[in-house]
Structure 1
Amino acid sequence: MAAPELVIRQVAMQAAEWFVLIDSGEATPQELVAFEQWRGADPAHEQAWQQAQRISGLASNLPQQTGSTLRRKTRLDRRKAIKQLAILIAAVPAGWLGWRTGEQQGWLADYRTAAGEQRRIVLADGTVIQLNTATRVDIDYNAASRTVHLRGGEILITTSPDPDAQRNGKPRPFIVQTAYGRVQPLGTRFVVRHIDDHVFVAVQEGAVQISNGARTDILHANEETRFDADAIDQPQALSPRELNWTRGVISADETRLGDFIAELARYRPGILRCDPAVADIRVTGAYQLQDTDAILLNLAKVFPVKLEYRTRYWVTVVAR
């Protein structure tokens, strides 16, 4: 097996090549299909792709020579741009390397969803898990515990009593393990989301115990919070919008257009961006996630914005 550092460099180079190709607007339909297949083949591919997008979004703040190279589209500059972008992707914080090589690593998750896909699974004990867009989980049921490893994305869990409790003398604990700590339900229905640099938890019924190594807190029904390896935020009242995705809906209530587009982008393959010039427009409404193109068209009708398509998979919302 290749050394972890070599794997990271290889994946970073692949992500950079895909990014520069798609950014050029010259990718063929066949290449776009191949890109989506690559992106879904390994969680590390998706993480490298997300890193490439973050770097591109910050290109204006990079040193002038590097930033300008990444923003050019000419073929003469493409190889240089790929190399520079790959270096920046591979410089992702050490959490990537730890995730790849640590005790909980998983090259391919037991269950996963692509961008825009949702999936419902029933585990051996009757627990039901609904996976939101771009989500990966591994299941580890053994004699000591029932553990769901959330590798990334968002899940809604409705727990079921341990069917082996009578045989074993006591129920096995149910645990959702994340990169920043664990969430242990006390007979409940709850959401766990791990995106970016924190974990979000919302409890619809019952209660959960959150442990991040530094402290342990209890979160009760109709409460939500977020945590990382260092802290657990004070609980807040659960926003009904946090569970709308379970009904196939994305909603906004005087939400910044930039924030709304960032959330909508989670449900679309490719790249969806909002120009800063229109990012502060306020959006209110509920939209069906099954057709994100229709959502974008509706926004263009209602607000003074238009859609710029570099390709079908690269859309920017700009001022009309």
Structure 2
Amino acid sequence: MSRAALPAISDAVAQQAADWLTVLMSDEAGGQQRRDWQHWRDADPEHARAWQQIEAFSQRFGQVHKGAATQALAGAAPPAASHKRRQLLVWLGVAGGAGMLAAQTGAWDEVRTLRADYRTATGERRDITLADGSALSLNTGSAVNVRFDGKRRLIELLAGEILIVSGHGAGTGVASNAPLVVATREGLVRALGTRFSVRQQDGQSYVAVFESAVEIRPLDGIGASLLLPAGRSTTFTRRHAAAPHAVGIYADAWSRGQMIVDDVTLGEFLTDLSRYRPGVIRCAPEVAQLRLSGVFPLFDTERILNMLPNSLPVQVRSRTRYWVSVEPAP
């Protein structure tokens, strides 16, 4: 089967494969880690296919790191791609009278993420004060480029999730009248004097507004933009925005180093927790629908996992620190 005919590898599996590559290339990789990796690889045909693409990429270029591995899994072209194609992936500048920007995206997202102005590793959080006085918080596994000058205030979200409290161009050389714009792969989010978060997801962007409002303009959308007021959230693709709904009361808890949940399923909880921890967290189907509530400290995911048997009929089995399984209690 040709590479073009292969089904797409999901972002989650691509990230898992890249994490395993990191483990196997580290000094900690031993016999047990390799057996755990083989178990992961053989557990699902998609896992095996993802690893085949990593091997093909590695053989072609002799060496590989986590970012390049994820690039390969996403079906990216090699670094020898033409200069013309690379040109398609750069910012095109201020667009028309709206003062907004348009981005071209594609194969080089992972490369650009590695070279981002600001980024965080898995489990890391970072707070930054920008040149205009805006406060920017990066959640786990996030990356942004910041382009502030005399004509524009642009934050390009390459990966992950950010929280912004917009400033007013107070910094030297920053255009005080230019709109603060967050660009994602799907479109543009313009701040209207506000506090809001933006998350880059697979094929869509998520926006939540906590104060004031934002204007959302899908990249390929036709017609009026969407005005999203405080207390509302939505997702949008390159073509359209979904109907707004209420913001979760704890949607910004991560910016305080907390994970707060209220009556969510264990499966949902562990999926979210996996964003903050390298490796794999597996939830057995028998316990995935159990429900829990609580306040959990994101700085210590090991502690969170160890707390689960105190409130749910589960056991947590750790083959290595990179492979954890939550199963029914014996």
TM-score, L = length of structure 1: 0.72
Q: For 2:86 and 2:122, how far apart are their aligned partners in 1?
A: 21
Q: For 1:126 and 1:21, how far apart are their aligned partners in 2?
A: 37
- Structure 2 residue 272 is the aligned partner of structure 1 residue 263: yes
Change (3 A) 1:259 1:167: closer
Change (3 A) 1:176 1:99: farther
Paired residue secondary structure (1:278): coil
Q: For 1:91 and 1:158, how far apart are their aligned partners in 2?
A: 35
For the 8 Å contact 1:164–1:171, the answer to whether it is kept is no
Q: Which residue of 1 aligns with 2:212?
A: 206
Q: Which residue of 2 aligns with 1:172?
A: 178
Change (3 A) 1:265 1:94: same
- Structure 2 residue 129 is the aligned partner of structure 1 residue 122: yes
Question: Which structure: greater helix fraction?
Answer: 1
Shift in Å at residue 263 of structure 1? 0.2
Give the number of aligned pairs: 268
Shift in Å at residue 86 of structure 1? 4.5
For the 8 Å contact 2:53–2:73, the answer to whether it is kept is no
Which letter maps to 2:149?
Answer: N
Shift in Å at residue 100 of structure 1? 10
Q: Which residue of 1 aligns with 2:52?
A: 83
Q: For 2:310 and 2:292, how far apart are their aligned partners in 1?
A: 13
Which letter maps to 1:245?
Answer: W
- Structure 2 residue 148 is the aligned partner of structure 1 residue 141: yes
Q: Which residue of 1 aligns with 2:27?
A: 30
For the 8 Å contact 1:273–1:316, the answer to whether it is kept is yes
Q: Which residue of 2 aligns with 1:38?
A: none
- Residue in structure 2 matching 1:306, options 310, 315, 318: 315
Which letter maps to 2:163?
Answer: L
> Which segments of 5 or more consecutive residues in structure 1 lack a partner in the other structure?
1-11, 33-51, 71-79
Shift in Å at residue 29 of structure 1? 6.8
Which letter maps to 1:208?
Answer: V
Q: Which residue of 1 aligns with 2:20?
A: 19
Which letter maps to 1:30?
Answer: D
Shift in Å at residue 171 of structure 1? 0.6
Q: For 2:191 and 2:18, how far apart are their aligned partners in 1?
A: 43
Shift in Å at residue 165 of structure 1? 10
Q: For 1:267 and 1:247, how far apart are their aligned partners in 2?
A: 14
- Residue in structure 2 matching 1:294, options 275, 298, 303: 303
- Residue in structure 2 matching 1:150, options 154, 157, 176: 157
For the 8 Å contact 2:20–2:279, the answer to whether it is kept is no
Which letter maps to 2:208?
Answer: A
Shift in Å at residue 288 of structure 1? 1.4
Paired residue secondary structure (1:299): helix
Q: For 1:174 and 1:277, how far apart are their aligned partners in 2?
A: 47
For the 8 Å contact 1:146–1:174, the answer to whether it is kept is yes
For the 8 Å contact 2:190–2:216, the answer to whether it is kept is yes
Q: Which residue of 2 aligns with 1:279?
A: 288
Shift in Å at residue 81 of structure 1? 8.9
For the 8 Å contact 1:271–1:315, the answer to whether it is kept is yes
Paired residue secondary structure (2:310): helix
Shift in Å at residue 17 of structure 1? 8.3
Q: Which residue of 1 aligns with 2:227?
A: 218
- Residue in structure 2 matching 1:245, options 244, 247, 254: 254
For the 8 Å contact 1:188–1:204, the answer to whether it is kept is yes
For the 8 Å contact 1:265–1:273, the answer to whether it is kept is no
Q: For 1:162 and 1:113, how far apart are their aligned partners in 2?
A: 25
Which letter maps to 1:196?
Answer: D
Q: Name whichever of 149-158 and 206-215 sits farther off.
A: 206-215
Which letter maps to 2:27?
Answer: Q
For the 8 Å contact 1:165–1:172, the answer to whether it is kept is no
For the 8 Å contact 1:165–1:171, the answer to whether it is kept is no
Paired residue secondary structure (2:252): helix
- Structure 2 residue 102 is the aligned partner of structure 1 residue 102: no
Paired residue secondary structure (1:197): coil
> Which segments of 5 or more consecutive residues in structure 2 lack a partner in the other structure?
1-12, 30-36, 58-69, 92-108
Counting only pairs closer than 5 Å after superposition, residues 47-58 of structure 1 correspond to structure 2 as: none
Change (3 A) 1:16 1:304: closer
Paired residue secondary structure (1:276): coil
Change (3 A) 1:198 1:21: closer
Change (3 A) 1:92 1:288: same
